[in-house]
């Protein structure tokens, strides 16, 4: 079903790209746009994840350079029955994270230094479980391609301003204005449709992977507060990637309304609280804690000592 949705998304974005070309340059512009869109679709499938990671200056880490962070992802991937994804660190003070990749075998997860410094060990686990849920649901291909094509559509719309070829376009000045305003708006609406429903699904999937919905709920509350105080310059320069993050990295889009790339954090936390109640009422215990033969928690920490902030530096 996800493959069908991805194909439909690609078809819609390609048609939108062609429509902009037609409005700017008539039939010739449409054919050029079709050729560009076809090339971009092929390129995005194989390389969009690398482009997004490069946009945000992500650095790959391993067990030696980031042992606790990497270890959390490894344990969660094992619990989710997923191949070990590549793990990236983004040197940015804004607490945030995202996942990318065309399939679980070629996936990557990334977290900012701000997130690792702000959250406890358990909260980081909740966030990375959310990102692995995106990988498991195969959301990452759709979200990454959407980011790439939405950015291209916005650039093409901006090009219409410099084209100034009202007489050359199919609808003259009206076509140019439509390309400038309506096309980027349509691309943004597609991003919203892709992101908003998938975030709720990934929240639930992440809670099931780590076994503790409140770990993620607590993390979301902290991330939302921190993201609002810190500007993410890379995200502001590449707004088409905003829907990929666990919390909207852009400023001024916090409402759970028509023009928000993410559901309201309060609504997501409420859903996780309800899920926590379901876990408590379940007849069998959750599989949150692996059988290690010790009294420590699933991340090698003693729960009696409370959430701990690991040495993320």
Cβ-based neighbours of 279, under 8 Å, separated by 6 or more:
211, 213, 286
131: annotated active-site residue: yes
Locate all alpha helices (DSSP H) within 119-237, ordered by sequence: 121-136, 139-163, 172-210, 213-229, 233-237
Query: Is residue 137 annotated as involved in ligand binding?
Result: no
Q: What is the pLDDT of residue 22?
A: 75
Cβ-based neighbours of 306, under 8 Å, separated by 6 or more:
none
Q: What is the pLDDT of residue 2?
A: 56
Q: What is the pLDDT of residue 243?
A: 81
Query: Is residue 212 annotated as involved in ligand binding?
Result: no
The pTM is what?
A: 0.75
Query: Is residue 78 annotated as involved in ligand binding?
Result: no
CA distances from 50 to 68, 198, 296 (A): 24, 22, 37
* Candidate list 131, 208, 276, 278, residue with the active-site label: 131
Q: How many CB atoms lie within 10 A of CB 291?
A: 6
DSSP-derived 3-state class of residue 22 = helix
Alpha-carbon gap, residue 154 to 45, rounded angstroms: 19
Alpha-carbon gap, residue 129 to 124, rounded angstroms: 8
Any idea how long the chain is? 313
Mean pLDDT by 10 residues, the chain (313 residues): 64 74 73 76 77 94 96 96 97 96 93 97 97 92 71 66 51 61 65 70 94 96 93 88 88 50 89 91 50 34 41 35
């Amino acid at each position: 079903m996800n493959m069908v949705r991805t194909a439909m998304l690609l078809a819609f974005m390609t048609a939108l790209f062609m429509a902009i070309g037609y409005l700017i340059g008539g039939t010739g512009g449409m054919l050029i746009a079709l050729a560009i869109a076809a090339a971009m679709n092929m390129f995005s499938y194989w390389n969009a994840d690398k482009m997004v990671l490069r946009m945000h200056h992500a650095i790959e880490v391993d067990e030696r350079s980031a042992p606790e962070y990497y270890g959390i992802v490894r344990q969660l991937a094992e619990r989710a029955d997923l191949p070990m994804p590549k793990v990236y660190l983004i040197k940015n003070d804004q607490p945030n994270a995202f996942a990318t990749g065309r399939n679980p075998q070629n996936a990557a997860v990334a977290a900012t230094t701000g997130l690792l410094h702000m959250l406890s060990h358990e909260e980081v686990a909740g966030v990375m479980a959310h990102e692995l849920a995106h990988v498991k649901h195969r959301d990452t291909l759709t979200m990454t391609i959407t980011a790439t094509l939405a950015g291209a559509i916005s650039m093409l719309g901006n090009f219409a301003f410099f084209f100034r070829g009202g007489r050359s376009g199919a609808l003259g000045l009206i076509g140019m204005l439509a390309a400038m305003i309506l096309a980027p708006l349509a691309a943004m609406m597609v991003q919203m449709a892709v992101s908003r429903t998938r975030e709720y699904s990934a929240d639930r999937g992440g809670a099931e992977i780590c076994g503790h919905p409140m770990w993620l709920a607590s993390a979301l509350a902290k991330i939302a507060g921190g993201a609002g105080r810190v500007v993410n310059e890379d995200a502001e320069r590449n707004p088409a990637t905003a829907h990929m993050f666990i919390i909207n990295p852009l400023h001024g889009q916090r409402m759970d309304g028509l023009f928000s790339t993410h559901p309201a954090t309060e609504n997501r936390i409420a859903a996780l609280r309800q899920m926590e109640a379901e876990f408590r009422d379940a007849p069998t215990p959750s599989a949150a804690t692996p059988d290690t033969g010790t009294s420590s928690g699933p991340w090698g920490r003693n729960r009696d000592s409370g959430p701990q902030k690991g040495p993320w530096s």
